[in-house]
Amino acid sequence: MKSDELASIIEKASELLTPSPEEKRNALEVLNQAVLLLKEAAIKLEFDVSIVPVGSITRDTWLPGKTDLDIFILFKKSFPEEKLGESVISIVEEAFGKYTLRYSAHPYARVKLSGFEIDVVPAYDVENALELRTPVDRSPLHAKFLEERMTPNLARDVRLLKAFVKGMGAYGAEVKVEGFSGYLCELLVLYYGSFLDVIRAAKDWKEPVVIDMAKMVSSTEEATRLFPNPLIVIDPVDPRRNVASALSRTQFYRFKAAAKAFLKSPSEKFFLEREVRQPDEEYVLSLVEKRGTYLAALLFDGLSEAPDTLWTQAKSGARKLHKLLKNNGFPVIHADGFTNESSSVLILIETPSRLISPIEVREGPEVGRPGESEFIKKHLGAENTISGPFICENRWFVLKRRKNNDVKSFIKGIIRTGHGLPKKLFSAKTKEVFECREISKIPDWALKFIYEWLQRKEPFLRELADP
Amino acid sequence: MKSDELASIIEKASELLTPSPEEKRNALEVLNQAVLLLKEAAIKLEFDVSIVPVGSITRDTWLPGKTDLDIFILFKKSFPEEKLGESVISIVEEAFGKYTLRYSAHPYARVKLSGFEIDVVPAYDVENALELRTPVDRSPLHAKFLEERMTPNLARDVRLLKAFVKGMGAYGAEVKVEGFSGYLCELLVLYYGSFLDVIRAAKDWKEPVVIDMAKMVSSTEEATRLFPNPLIVIDPVDPRRNVASALSRTQFYRFKAAAKAFLKSPSEKFFLEREVRQPDEEYVLSLVEKRGTYLAALLFDGLSEAPDTLWTQAKSGARKLHKLLKNNGFPVIHADGFTNESSSVLILIETPSRLISPIEVREGPEVGRPGESEFIKKHLGAENTISGPFICENRWFVLKRRKNNDVKSFIKGIIRTGHGLPKKLFSAKTKEVFECREISKIPDWALKFIYEWLQRKEPFLRELADP
B-chain CB neighbours of A454 within 8 Å are: 387
Residues B202 and B266 both lie in one domain: yes
Buried b (16+ CB within 10 A) or exposed e, A34-57: bbebbbebbeeeebebebbbbbbb
Better pLDDT: A133 or A200: A200
Provide the percentage of residues in chain A whose pLDDT is more than 90. 66
* Closest listed residue to residue A173, CA positions, set A272, A71, A252: A252
The per-residue pLDDT for B189 is 97
**How distant is the alpha carbon of residue A11 from its chain centre?**
30
With 50 as the cut, is the pLDDT of residue B1 above it? no
Determine the average pLDDT of the residues in A93-103. Answer: 87
> Which residues in chain A are closer than 8 Å to B388, comparing Cβ atoms?
456-458
CATH code at A194? Answer: 1.10.1410.30
pLDDT of A466 above 70: no
A253 touches chain B (CB under 8 A): yes
Cα–Cα distances in Å, from B168 out to B65, B171, B180, B187? 18, 8, 11, 19
Mean pLDDT over A11-19 rounds to 91
For residue A310, the domain's CATH number is 3.30.70.590
Start-end of H helices in B204-266: 220-226, 249-264
Q: Which residues of A touch B318 (CB under 8 A)?
A: none
> Which candidate from B257, B331, B465 shows the least CB-CB separation from A377?
B465
- Classify strands A238-242 and A334-339 as parallel, antiparallel or unpaired: unpaired
pLDDT tens by residue, A104-157 = 767 888 999 999 999 999 999 988 888 888 888 888 899 999 999 999 999 999
Using the beta-carbon criterion (under 8 Å), do A465 and B376 form an inter-chain contact? yes
User: 3-state class of A186 per DSSP?
Assistant: helix
> What mean pLDDT value characterizes chain A?
91
3-state secondary structure of B123: strand
One-letter amino acid for residue B11 of the chain = E
Domain enclosing residue A247, as ranges: 151-274
Q: Which of A367, A379, A392 is the mutation pick for testing B, counting most B CBs within 10 A? A: A367
Which residues are bridge partners to A242 per DSSP?
A234
Q: In terms of domains, do A351 and A366 share one?
A: no
Cα separation, A403 vs B454, in Å, equals 20
Question: Pairing relation of β-strands A359-366 and A395-401?
Answer: antiparallel
Q: Which of A274, A308, A342 is the last residue of a domain?
A: A274
Give B 307-336 residues with CB within 8 A of chain A.
331, 333-334
pLDDT of residue A1: 45
Residue B406 sits at φ, ψ, to 5 deg, of -115, 110
User: Is B467 among the domain residues?
Assistant: no
Q: Are strands A231-235 and A107-113 parallel, antiparallel or unpaired?
A: unpaired
Q: What is the mean pLDDT of chain B?
A: 91
- B382 in a domain, yes or no? yes
Provide φ and ψ at A41, rounded to 5°: -65, -40
Contact partners, residue A383, CB within 8 Å, separation at least 6: none
Beta bridge partners of B305: none
> Residue A292 and residue B358: Cβ atoms within 8 Å?
yes
From the list A359, A372, A457, which residue is nearest B390 (CB)?
A: A457
Distance from CA of B378 to the nearest CA of A (A): 9
Helical pair A152-167 and A2-16, crossing angle rounded to 10 deg: 90
For residue B186, the model assigns a pLDDT of 97
The answer to whether B376 contacts A204, with C-beta atoms less than 8 Å apart, is: no
Q: Any idea what DSSP says for residue A358?
A: S
- The predicted complex's ipTM stands at 0.86
Same domain, B337 and B285: yes
CA pair distance A347, A22, nearest whole angstrom: 44
The backbone torsions φ and ψ at residue B342, rounded to the nearest 5 degrees and listed phi first, read -135, -50
Q: Where are the beta strands (DSSP E) in B207-344?
A: 209-211, 231-235, 238-242, 294-301, 334-339
To the nearest whole angstrom, how far is the Cα of B346 from the nearest Cα of chain A? Answer: 21
Reference B453, options B276, B236, B324; nearest CA is B276
Give pLDDT, residue B277. 82
Residue A7 lies in a domain: no
Left, alpha or beta for B372 (phi > 0: left; psi -120 to 50: alpha)? Answer: alpha
Distances B254 to A392, B182, B189, B208, B466 between C-alpha atoms, Å? 8, 17, 18, 15, 17
Domain final residue pick, A228, A252, A274: A274
pLDDT value at residue B466? 66
Alpha helix segments (H runs only) across A208-337:
220-226, 249-264, 281-291, 307-327
Minimal CA–CA distance to B436: which of B327, B333, B317, B348? Answer: B348
Nearest CB among B256, B367, B464 relative to A376 is that of B464
Whether residue A420 has pLDDT greater than 90: no
pLDDT band at A79 (very low <50, low <70, confident <90, very high): very high
Instruction: Provide the β-strand partners of residue B124.
Output: B75
From chain A, pick out residues whose CB is under 8 angstroms from the CB of B357.
293, 331, 333, 351-353
Q: pLDDT tens for residues B296-345?
A: 999 999 998 888 899 999 999 999 999 999 999 899 999 999 999 999 99
Partner A contacted by B373 (CB < 8 A): yes
User: Taken in order A210, A211, A217, A220, is the CA torsion positive or negative?
Assistant: positive
> Are residues A329 and A433 located together in one domain of the fold?
yes
A260-305 tens-digit pLDDT:
999 999 999 999 988 878 888 999 999 999 888 999 999 999 998 8
Strand order in the sheet with B395-401: B359-366, B395-401, B385-392
B204 and B225 share a domain? yes
Q: Rounded to a whole number, what is the distance in Å from the CA of A245 to chain B's nearest CA?
A: 15
pLDDT of residue B227: 94
Residues of A in contact with B249 (CB under 8 A): 393-394
Q: Residue window 380-419, chain A: list those with CB within 8 Å of chain B.
A: 380, 386-395, 399
Per-residue CA distances from B438 to A200, A304, B177, B345, B405 (Å): 65, 57, 28, 17, 22
Nearest Cβ partner for A254 among B373, B391, B467: B391
Domain boundary among A245, A274, A303: A274
Assess whether B79 and B23 both reside in one domain: yes
State how far the Cα of A448 lies from the Cα of A63, in Å rounded to an integer.
Answer: 25
Please check whether residue B358 touches A, CB under 8 A.
Answer: yes
For residues A204 and A257, what is the distance between their CA atoms, to the nearest angstrom? 9
- In B, which residues are within 8 Å of A399 by CB distance? 333
- Residues of A whose CB is below 8 A from B257: 367-368, 372, 391
CA-nearest residue to B378 within chain A is A465
Mean pLDDT over A73-89 rounds to 90
User: How close A155 gets to chain B, by Cα (Å)?
Assistant: 29
Q: For residue B445, count other CB atoms closer than 10 A to its CB.
A: 15
Identify whether the C-beta of residue A246 lies closer than 8 Å to the C-beta of residue A401: no
Check CB contact of A361 with chain B, cutoff 8 Å.
yes
- What Rg do the C-alpha atoms of chain A give, in angstroms? 27
pLDDT value of position B2: 66
Chain B nearest-CA distance from A401, in A, is 8
Q: Would you give the distance in Å from CA B101 to the centre of its chain?
A: 24
CATH of the domain at A26: 3.30.460.10
Residue A459: inside a domain, yes or no?
Answer: no
> How much is the average pLDDT of B187-208?
96
Q: Which of A250, A368, A464 sits opposite B392 (nearest CB)?
A: A250
pLDDT band with cut points at 50, 70 and 90 for residue A183 = very high
Comparing C-alpha atoms, which of A185, A186, A190, A159 is closest to residue A170? Answer: A185
Alpha-carbon gap: B299 to the closest alpha carbon of chain A (Å): 24
Q: Would you say residue A187 has pLDDT above 90?
A: yes
Q: How many residues does chain A have?
A: 467
Q: Is residue A144 part of a domain?
A: no
A307, A339 in Cβ contact below 8 A?
A: yes
- Residue A291 at interface with chain B, using a CB cutoff of 8 Å: yes
Is there a single domain that holds both residue A334 and residue A365?
no
CA distances in angstroms from A209 to A14, A113, A216, A220, A239, listed in the order given = 27, 42, 15, 9, 16
Sign, Cα dihedral of A254, A258, A260, A264 = positive
Phi, psi (deg, nearest 5) at residue A164: -65, -50
d(CA A186, CA A195): 10
Domain co-membership, A293 together with A419: yes
Same domain for A298 and A253? no
pLDDT at B467: 59
* Non-local CB neighbours of A206 within 8 Å, separated by 6+ positions: none
Angle subtended at Cα A412 by Cα A407 and Cα A418, rounded to the nearest 5 degrees: 120
B181/B162 Cα distance (integer angstroms)? 9
What is the mean pLDDT of the segment spanning A245-250? 95
In a domain, A145, yes or no: no
Q: What stretch of H or E contains A108?
A: strand A107-113
pLDDT at B195 over 90: yes
Mutate: best of B373, B374, B454, partner A, most A CBs <10 A: B373
Task: Name chain B contacts of A395, Cβ cutoff 8 Å.
Answer: 253
Please state the domain count of chain B.
Answer: 4
Q: Is residue A464 part of a domain?
A: no
Q: Are residues A395 and A408 in the same domain?
A: no
Q: Which of A404, A456, A460, A466 to mutate to test the interface with B (most CBs of B within 10 A)?
A: A456
Q: CA of A189, closest CA in chain B: separation in Å?
A: 22
Residue B464: closest CA among chain A residues belongs to which residue?
Answer: A373
| pLDDT tens per residue across span A16-67 | 999 999 999 999 999 999 999 999 999 999 999 999 998 899 899 999 988 8
Would an 8 Å CB–CB cutoff place A263 in contact with chain B?
Answer: no
> Contacts of residue B389 in chain A, CB cutoff 8 Å?
457-458, 461
Rounded Cα–Cα distance for residues A164 and A175 (Å): 19
**A122 in the same domain as A50:** yes
User: Judging by DSSP bridges, how do beta strands B231-235 and A231-235 pair with one another?
Assistant: unpaired
Contact A146, A99 (CB under 8 A): no
Nearest chain A CA: its distance from B454 CA (Å):
7
What's the pLDDT at B129?
Answer: 81
* Same domain assignment for residues B334 and B207: no
Report the pLDDT averaged over residues A449-453. 90
Provide the chain B residues 171-230 that lie in CB contact (below 8 A) with chain A. 203-204, 207
Overall average pLDDT of the B239-256 stretch: 95
Using CB atoms, which residue from A372, A455, A462 is nearest to B387?
A455
Choose the closest CB to B373 out of A249, A458, A464: A464
A contacts of B368 (beta carbons < 8 Å): 203-204, 253, 256-257, 260
Determine the Cα angle at A164 with ends A163 and A168, to 5°. 110
Question: Is residue A2 predicted with pLDDT exceeding 70?
Answer: no
Short-list A360, A305, A300, A309, CA closest to A330: A360
**Residues of chain B found within 8 Å of residue A286, distances taken between Cβ atoms:** none
Compute the distance between CA of residue A171 and CA of residue A183 in angstroms, rounded to an integer: 11
Distances (CA, A) of A266 to A2, A299, A446, B367: 9, 41, 33, 19
Tell whether B422 is covered by a domain.
Answer: yes
**A358/B464 Cα distance (integer angstroms):** 28
Q: Do A293 and B357 touch (CB under 8 A)?
A: yes
